[in-house]
Every structure is written in C-alpha cells, then in structure tokens.
Amino acid sequence: MSRFDLREVSVRREGHLIIDRVTATIAPGRCTALVGPSGAGKSTLLRLFNRLDDPSEGTVLLDGAPLDSLDVLALRRRVGLVGQRPVLVTESVPEELRVGAPDLADDQALALLKRVGLGEEFYDRPTHGLSGGEGQRVCLARTLAVGPQVLLLDEPTSALDPEAAAAVEDTLCGLLGDGLTAILVSHRAAQVRRMADDALVLRKGRLVESGPVAEVAYVSEGD
C-alpha cells in the first residue's frame, strides 16, 4: 500500500495561483476524496500524483521518495488514472486490456473483466459497441491490468447516466474494499460519503478542511 505526502505544494499557471501551499497526507489503503466548489483546484491537485502536472513549489512524495526522482512511466504504472469519460483506444476488449500489459494471458484478462463486474461474454466484444458504463469498466480493467498500487479517480461517473453511474460506483467500491489506495475527485457529497474514508476540502486552491469523511462538514452537510 502506498502513501503520498504533499509538502507546501503550490501550482502557478500564467501568473495565477491554482494550488496554494497545500500540505497533506494521503493515507495508504484508504480512499481520500478531493472536494470543494468548482474551480477550487481539485483536478489540478489530482494530476500532480502521476506527474501529469508538476508543482511550481513544494514537493510531492510517494512512500518517502520525491516524485521528480522517479521514472515517469514506472510511476504511471504504479499510479493508474481513470478519467471522467471512457477513452477506448483499440477495436476490441481483449486488445484494450493489453494496452499496458501485452503479455496478459486470457485467463488473467477474464479475471479482470470479472473483477470490474463484466461477464465472459464481453471478452470478444468490439469496443465501439460498448455503452458508457461498460466502456468505463473496461477502462478500469485496462488500468488494473498493469497492477497499480494507487487509483486516481477523476469524476469517474460524472459522464454516465444514473444506472451506469451506479454500476461503476458499485464496482469501484468493491475494488476499494480490497485495500487499494485511491484518490477521488467528486462534486457529489453523497458519492463521497459512500466511497471515501477521508476528505480534503479545497477553496481557491487552499486546503481549508481535512479529516475522516464523517467529520468533514463540507461532505457531511452536502447534498
């Protein structure tokens, strides 16, 4: 299980301060939600954890090692990202599962599909015929195929209809119950209460509240 530490982290873009001196810990084996109003810096902060962005000041550490001391490709195998919309880059489900794991055996691929709540019949399906929820779960299986220690979840159900969103959320809750470290960006307090153990509340790039979800007012009092 992996732990992140943020030490006085700031991000500036074109003269604008997006993240302002954030110091926090992402506990191993738990799901930590990044919450706050629109424009608070949640997605920017999330992108620091696999170096899609780098801090302008301060340090992000993974298990005590500064991220900029680690090989980027190796880091992104340890820290997988699931975005808002399913982005499928091949023509079939088995090809998709092998994007980052070309030597994945058939039985391993079938086990991954089962792990994300898809039956064996999906193994021979073309990707262009998948629904949004099915595509998102295939993307999740593709991420899991490389054996990540951390999942970054950037509004993973926001682009799905309610039924598909519920199915994907149930899948994610099952995975988080296996002890993966996860960092979730969500604008829905109810979803955060269902999925997350801890929460960091951002406002205008600053960390204003943190702690277990049940003790964080922004989450416990939200809709």
Q: What is the DSSP string of 53-67?
A: S--SEEEEEETTEEG
What's the pLDDT tens digit per position in 83-139? 988 999 999 999 999 999 999 999 999 999 999 999 999 999 999 999 999 999 999
Q: In the structure encoding, which two tokens stand for residue 60, read together?
A: 């992000």
Number of domains composing the chain: 1
Q: Quick one: pLDDT band at residue 159, thresholds 50, 70, 90?
A: confident
The answer, yes or no, to whether residue 204 has pLDDT greater than 80, is yes
The answer, yes or no, to whether residue 14 has pLDDT greater than 70, is yes
On whether the CB atoms of residues 109 and 90 are closer than 8 A, the answer is no
Task: Supply the range of the domain harboring residue 64.
Answer: 4-220
Cβ partners under 8 Å of residue 147, min gap 6: 77
> Residue 216 and residue 173: Cα distance in Å, rounded?
20
Q: In the structure encoding, which two tokens stand for residue 12, read together?
A: 């500036």
Name the phi and psi angles at 3, rounded to 5.
-120, 135
What CATH number does the domain containing 167 carry?
3.40.50.300
Q: How many angstroms separate the Cα of 155 from the Cα of each of 28, 57, 117, 169?
A: 21, 26, 19, 11
The answer, yes or no, to whether residue 50 has pLDDT greater than 90, is yes
Please give the share of the chain, as a percent, with pLDDT higher than 90. Answer: 87
Name the amino acid, one letter, at 190. Answer: A
Q: What is the pLDDT of residue 62?
A: 97
Residue keyed to tokens 């991420």:
143
The interaxial angle of helices 132-144 and 106-115, nearest 10 deg, is 130
